[in-house]
A and B are shown apart, each in its own frame.
Chain A
């Protein structure tokens, strides 16, 4: 059996500033007809670069050598015209970010028509019919009426469905999906995976699936290639790899799951934070006089209590108001309803009155790449809060920075470097150090592990647990990742479109969810299936 896609000894090098980075080293793999091959690896392992190099979609700074044969045709150094014929026609792509891979100025019909007209030569109503058929196929309801819709009128899941429809438009033989579900909520993730599996069945397509998520791989792939720093370290049938991993790296990947349970909280622990029916409504202004015509109800009646040493997990899908609630508690946006912090009502205080309290309540954000100013050294970033709150003014700042860096597991010798020299996990540690140096009582963690690789996630969860135990910290832990929430939280609050649908002790909710929504979330998160 000849392979549909045959990659042999592929090397990709990037040149910048005269330095060469060897991103992919001697990678070989095949994708056969009707087969799903998953490339798994952590960020920076070269999996996306490998996928893009198959149809020579890398930039000018990349140098590719080796052999990539598609249906027996050599793709490396092929003329641009040949590549264009293959791209989008025989090989289609789905990218990670559904928000940016559709042109915001084009309607659905126009986006889809472009490629159909180009590759199939259809015109007029034939194109429209084909588009409606495609949209139905990918499960967009009421397809005919959505033809004139713009991307911003669709949800993330719908956009990804449109992307898949675009990819399928020319009946490709090979579909390359680069982290197609990473940016989506768990329940939608499960739906998209079902859709892909179904389409693959009905059309006999091959699928090259790139992901870091092992739950997905187990569900969808026939064969797995595990990549690490540009090399394939292990390859084999999915079942075999999962049951009997040979390479230590694969074993480590499989073992990387946030486990453990939160430590018990003494019953008399003082209450750190209390909210009573917090409501965050953004007014919608209409008309000439800007009358308030209605509200976007971001958060409705959120009531919660966090005690010292306790973690309250807030879970929900995107748009459920989790982050908005966190920002309101930090008093970074306006809200209604009482917020009491250490016995003091803070919801009516202005920014100036809040300033003395800020050292006791700190926040760690989701994106470790965006939350550190790129023009400041790590020492400057970490020490910034010290001078504002005049903590131990007599002590040497750098000594304090060194201490806290050691505590969060960073080498203090690196304090004069800039953030871009650190990995994602290290940056998240810097963000935690910046918060911890002020010795807060409450730490709001807004998806602190979502942008990180699994193995790093585990380390950060452990760090957070250690810090909580040591300092009796109260955590408000916001995440869509139920596995991490389970490993850390004492109490859980489930949010959906601004409403709290379920709240209570973590064990009770995870073991016996009361509402359909919670049940659907759990099924998608722990088993990757839809209800």
Chain B
């Protein structure tokens, strides 16, 4: 037998175990479809600024290409009067862009604009034809829609899902609200699972007094009425997204501790852990190299509850009016408006459909993940 060193094979992306899990996940068609739909929606929502915005994506002004989404342009940059940011929805600004900044836009913007758009060429010095590319929905989540009628306005050509009670476009708010919910849930889940896993690992691995003291601390900590704390802190320092993320993690991390602790308590007496101790491996290495990978299965099974719980938590805070600032695109706030404006059913239907689709997709995906991790489940 050769004792020559065997060349290390190229490391595969997934270990055989994970390959099996991936295969198992792929067998669950519903989960796979849900994953695709959800990923598409989420990635689209990440580019929400290009889908729903009150600034054009691209403007050609006097032959020069400008991206108002990315950069600040004042009205003066388009030949107007104000040093403030150009209001691209105004007919004057539209006219200025289309004509290359003609003074005449302040006299008869509608007429000029119509003429240019129908292919005409006004006989005025300094005319340079410009154009604008708008996002599919020309409103951002906080744009006040300037149309006639009472708010909330029903769905129409300009607002496909209607407007809410401050005349903001519901479709735009849904897109931004979906992104915000998912990002919030993602950050809270990642943050609280990192802390929770670490705390559970330490408790379970060392046991004894460490465990005892930590357990009592967690009991006191979880006894704290977190909702009140959030409301009080918001009242003192003011509302903000990042503060809410911080506070939710602060009170959310004990969710995973019990589970990870139990897994580590179980694993600390396994023979391979003993063998590692006999080799002289340090505690930290044993915890993270030997025990954590085996505790991950139980943890992954628990994650969906954290994700959906975080989405629900954010929505309920907003619904109660104690969540994000009221200008923020929040699905919970939309639900609250739906309750307050029962004469405007499109608000309720939209909020319900969004929540139902989002949470169902997540549940289907995680159901597939859980089954794929289950070593006893067989897929024929």
Contacts and interface: CB of A to CB of B under 8 A. Distances in A.
Given A371-B272, A375-B17, A403-B3, A416 B279 contact: no
Contacts of A412: 1-3, 6
Interface in B272-297: 272, 274-282, 289-290, 293-294
A402 B5 contact: yes
B378 A373 contact: no
8 contacts: A327-B274, A362-B278, A363-B275, A371-B271, A375-B17, A388-B281, A418-B16, A418-B17
Given A16-B378, A61-B380, A375-B294, A411 B280 contact: no
B166 to A, nearest CB: 54
Interface string A393-413: 000101100110010000111
The 9 closest A-B pairs by CB, nearest first: A358-B280, A399-B5, A371-B271, A375-B293, A385-B279, A370-B271, A365-B271, A355-B280, A373-B272
B380 A372 contact: no
Interface in B241-269: none
A438 interface: yes
B156 interface: no
A416 B275 CA distance: 20
B36 interface: no
A406 B279 CA distance: 21
B3 A17 contact: no
Interface of B: 1-6, 8-9, 15-17, 20, 23-24, 270-272, 274-282, 289-290, 293-294, 378-380
B4 A434 contact: no
Contacts of A384: 276, 279, 281
A311 interface: no
B280 A388 contact: yes
Contacts of B3: 399, 402-403, 406, 412
A17 B15 CA distance: 16
Q: Which of B9, B270, B294 gathers the greatest number of chain A CB atoms within 10 Å?
A: B270
Contacts of A121: none
B9 A416 contact: yes
B15 A371 contact: no
Given A373-B272, A373-B290, A375-B293, A330 B278 contact: yes
Contacts of A370: 270-272
B274 A332 contact: yes
A359 interface: yes
A418 B271 contact: no
Given A370-B270, A385-B280, A398 B379 contact: no
Contacts of B280: 354-356, 358-359, 385, 388-389
Contacts of A366: 271
Contacts of B1: 406, 411-412
B378 A363 contact: no
A202 to B, nearest CB: 41
Contacts of A389: 280
A388 B280 CA distance: 7
A374 interface: yes
Given A371-B275, A388-B279, 20 more contacts: A16-B378, A17-B378, A17-B379, A332-B278, A363-B278, A366-B271, A370-B272, A371-B272, A373-B290, A373-B294, A375-B17, A385-B280, A388-B281, A399-B4, A403-B3, A406-B2, A412-B3, A416-B6, A418-B15, A438-B279
A249 to B, nearest CB: 26
A399 B7 CA distance: 9
Contacts of B271: 365-367, 370-371
A362 B9 CA distance: 30
Interface in A460-488: none
Interface in A340-359: 354-356, 358-359
A15 interface: yes
A396 B17 contact: no
Nearest to B379: A17
A415 interface: yes
Interface in A363-387: 363, 365-367, 370-376, 384-385
Contacts of A49: none
B29 to A, nearest CB: 15
Contacts of B20: 17
Contacts of B281: 384-385, 388
Contacts of B23: 17
Given A17-B23, A399-B3, A402-B5, A372 B278 contact: no
Nearest to A381: B272
B6 A358 contact: no
A431 interface: yes
B272 A402 contact: no
B290 A332 contact: no
A374 B8 contact: no
A224 to B, nearest CB: 34
Contacts of A411: 1
Nearest to A411: B1
A398 B279 contact: no
B313 to A, nearest CB: 33
A79 interface: no
Given A16-B378, A372-B272, A358 B294 contact: no
A18 interface: yes
Contacts of A399: 3-5
Contact of A434 (B6, B275, B293): B275
A61 B279 contact: no
A459 B23 CA distance: 38
Contacts of B378: 15-17, 60-61
A465 B15 CA distance: 36
Interface in A410-445: 411-413, 415-416, 418, 431, 434, 438
